[in-house]
Structure 1
C-alpha cells in the first residue's frame, strides 16, 4: 500500500484543513518513506469541482446583501428552502442589530466534498455592533457550497465557532446602555433586558462609568457551546458567562455576556439578577481581558457588587461556604485560580469564598479602596504592592483576616 509522508497539516483548534503537497511513496514492499522513492500524485478528482472564484462571488453577494439589507438577494443564494431562509435571517439580523464591518471572505477548502458540485470551505467573517463594540470580531467557519459555488447549502458545524447572529433569526431589545439579542421570545428578551439595565444601574452606583454592554442569548446550551467554540457540555451547569465574542484577547476585543437559557431561566428572579449583575461587572470593567489579576479578586469583586444591596441572610448568600467550613474547617489559603474551573464540583463554595475575600477588604479599607484596588490590579499593578498601599496589609494579613471572617459566618 502507498504510504503518505511529508504531510503538511494546518490546524486551528478543533478543525483542520490540508494544505501543501501530499507526497506519496509508491512502495513495492512496504518500505519506509525515502526522499528518492516518491512521485507526485495526479490532481485529486474531488478537488476538480472546487471553483473558489465562483464561491467568492457568492460570498460577495451575501456581503452586499447584509450591508444593503437585501433579504431577497441573500435568499437567492440558498441551495434549498431551508438555506434560503437562514441566509435571509442573517441579513435581517445584520440590519436589526446595526452591524457594520460585515465581511465574508473565502479562505481555503477543507477537503470535504458533497455530490458532484459541492464542497466545504473555511470562510472568514467579520462584524461589529455599532455603538457597543470598539473593534470588529473575526472568526472562521465552514461554509458548505453547492452548484459549483453558485449557492450556499449551510453555515457552520460542530467543529468551529458559530456566532449567534449567524445561527438563526434573533430578536433584540436595545436601550442607550444595553443591547440584548438572541433566539428568544419578545417576553423573554424583555425580562433579560430589564435585569441587565438594573445591573448597569447597580454597577454605576459602585464604580461609576458609562460603559455599555451586549448580551447574547443562544437557543440552547449546545448553541452556547458553539458560539464560544468550547467542547460540548462545558457550560452545561453555568447560567451565564462573559467572554470575547471571537475568542481573541486583545485590548479592544469585543466582550459580550452570553446567557445559558437552560440554567438562567430556571433561576428565581433574585438569583437571576445576581448572575446578571455579576456578569455585567465582568463585561464593563474589562475583567475578561485582564492577564494577571487573580480570580479571587475578579470573581469576588463581581459578587461583591451583585450582592451589595441585597437584604438576604448570610445563610443563603454564603450557605455552601458555611457548610464546607463546618465539614472541613477554614481554608488554608485564598482561592487559587485553578479552583474556578467550571467543571469543579465545588464551584459555589469557591465563589462564595472569593466574595468574602473582597468583603474582608471592604471592611478593612472601605469600598472606595476596594474599587481602586480592583481597577489597579486589572490594569496590571502588583497585588502585594497594592494591598500594602491601599489597605496596609500583606497577603498573609488578608488571608488571616478572611479566615477569621469565614470562621464566624456559621
Structure 2
C-alpha cells in the first residue's frame, strides 16, 4: 500500500484523574474554588454553544483571536453527540508564571493551573477521555477569567486540539454491533466520511469474527483535513505524511475500560484510499482498538502491525502479490527474508517502511496458514504483552508454535518464496 497505517498512539500527557483534596491553605482554597467555578462555566458555555457566556469568561487582556477561537470551537462542537464535556484541575507541582507574561496583564493574580479537558462521545465512550490543556487565567476584582490556552513560556504543558478546533464538522452516527459508532469529519471530507460510515458495521463484525466479541464493538472515527490537524490530534510522532490512519487511546489501566479510543484518518486518505484500502485500513485500525486492552506499549511492531494487517486483509480474496508487491519483488531479486522486521523499520519511511509492513503481514499470514488462526491469536497475546528481547521472542515462539525463532523464520522465508512466485 502506498499509504501506511500506524499502531495505537497512547496519549500519556494528561493525568488520569482529577485533583485530590485541596491544600489546607485559605488563600489556595479560595484560588482553587474560584478557578474551578471558572472551569465549570467555561465547559457549560462551550457545550451549550453560548457565545455571550464565553465572551464574559474571557479576560479583557486576551487576544481577540482567542475569544473567536472559543466561539468557533463551541459552534463546531454543537453537532457532536457529547455525553460529557468538562475541565478539571489536576494535582501537579505549580510552575510560577514568568513575570514577562504576568506583568503586562496588570491583574491581581495570574495563574497557569494544571488542567485537563474531560470529554466523552455519547453511545460509544464507556468512560471519558482526558486531554491536557495549557491554561492561563487572571484574577481581577475577585473574579477569574481566561487569558489563553496557548503554550505559556517556561511551562511544559500543551493544549490538545481536537477536530472542533480546525473548522466546521459533519457528524454521522451509525449502528454497529456494540451500539452507536460515530464518524466526525469536516464538510470537505464528506465522501470519505460516508464511505467509512457505510463500512463500519461490516468492519466491526469482521474484526469480531477474528478477534472475538470481547471489545466495545463500536468506534469513534475522526477524519482530519490537514497535516496540522492530524498532528494535533494524534501527536507529531504518529502523523507521518504517508500514514493513512492511526488508532489512539489513553494509557491502558488494567481492569478498566480503555478510554479515548479513536481511529483517526490522515488528510491524505481522502484522495489516496480506494474502496479496498478504505475497508482494509478501517479493519486494521479497529483490530488495534479491539486488542488495545491486552496490548502493552513497546511490544514488537512486527507482531502488532502484522496482526492488524492480517485482520484487515482477512477474507478479502486478495493475492499475496497484491498485498505484498514490494516484498515479492525483493524476493525475486534477492531471495526470501531471513530476519523479522525491526521496530525502526516501520517508521523509517519509504521502501523500508513499506517492506516492514508487508513482511509483518506475511509473518502473520504464514502463522495463520501453517499453525491456524487460534495459534496466531495466542502468539499475539504473548508477544504483545510488553517489550521483547531476542530470547523472549524465541521462548514465545517455542511455547506457542512449538519451535524457536530460527526455525520459524526459515519456514516463513520458504513460505514467502513460494507465495511470491
TM-score (norm 2): 0.72
Report which stretch shifted further, 294-303 or 184-193: 184-193
Residue from 206, 209, 222 that aligns with 1:205: 209
CA distance, structure 2, for counterparts of residue 117 and residue 295 of structure 1: 52
Q: Where does residue 300 of structure 2 map in the other structure?
A: 294
Q: Equivalent of 2:316, from 282, 306, 310? A: 310
Distance 2:147 2:264 in 1: 28
Deviation at 1:203, TM superposition (A): 1.0
Aligned 1:116-195 pairs, distance under 5 A: 116=105, 121=112, 123-129=114-120, 130-143=122-135, 152=146, 155-156=149-150, 160-165=158-163, 167-168=165-166, 169-175=168-174, 176-185=179-188, 186-195=190-199
RMSD: 3.6
Deviations 1:120-160 (A, max 9, x none): 94651232324433443333333466896865465346973
**Take 1:83 and 1:329, find their aligned partners in 2: how far apart are those partners?**
59
User: Conserved in 1, the CA contact under 8 Å of 2:88 and 2:118?
Assistant: no
Q: Work out which of the two has the higher radius of gyration on C-alpha atoms and give 1 or 2.
A: 1
Structure 2 residues not aligned, in runs of 5+:
1-11, 14-30
Note the alpha carbon deviations across 1:44-101, whole angstroms, 9 max, x for none. Answer: xxxxxxx998766543320233466655423543567754453244445277332426
Deviation of 1:297 (Å) = 1.4
Aligned residue in 2 for 1:240 = 245
Shift of the 88–116 alpha-carbon distance from structure 1 to 2, 3 Å rule, reads closer
Q: What CA distance in whole angstroms lies between the structure 2 residues aligned with 1:372 and 1:105?
A: 42
Q: Which moved more, 1:90-99 or 1:338-347?
A: 90-99
Provide the rounded CA distance (Å) in 2 between the counterparts of 1:155 and 1:94: 20
Q: In the alignment, what sits opposite 1:281?
A: 287
> Which gives a bigger RCO, structure 1 or 2 (Cα 8 Å, sep 6+)?
2
2:96/2:111 contact within 8 Å kept: yes
Contact 2:211 2:290 (8 Å CA) reproduced: no
Secondary structure of the corresponding residue to residue 101 of structure 2: strand
Q: Which runs of 5+ in 1 are unaligned?
A: 1-11, 14-50
After superposition, the C-alpha distances for 1:219-253 in whole angstroms (9 at most, x for unaligned) are 3111111223326x9512211111225xx454434
Alignment of 1:1-400 (within 5 A): 57-66=37-46, 70=50, 72-78=52-58, 82-91=65-74, 93=77, 96-100=80-84, 102-105=86-89, 110-111=97-98, 113=101, 116=105, 121=112, 123-129=114-120, 130-143=122-135, 152=146, 155-156=149-150, 160-165=158-163, 167-168=165-166, 169-175=168-174, 176-185=179-188, 186-209=190-213, 210-211=215-216, 212-230=218-236, 234-244=239-249, 248-251=251-254, 252-286=258-292, 289-291=295-297, 293-341=299-347, 343=349, 345-379=351-385, 383-400=393-410
User: How many correspondences in the alignment?
Assistant: 359
Q: Which moved more, 1:113-122 or 1:332-341?
A: 113-122
Q: CA deviation at 1:214?
A: 1.8
TM-score by length of 1: 0.73
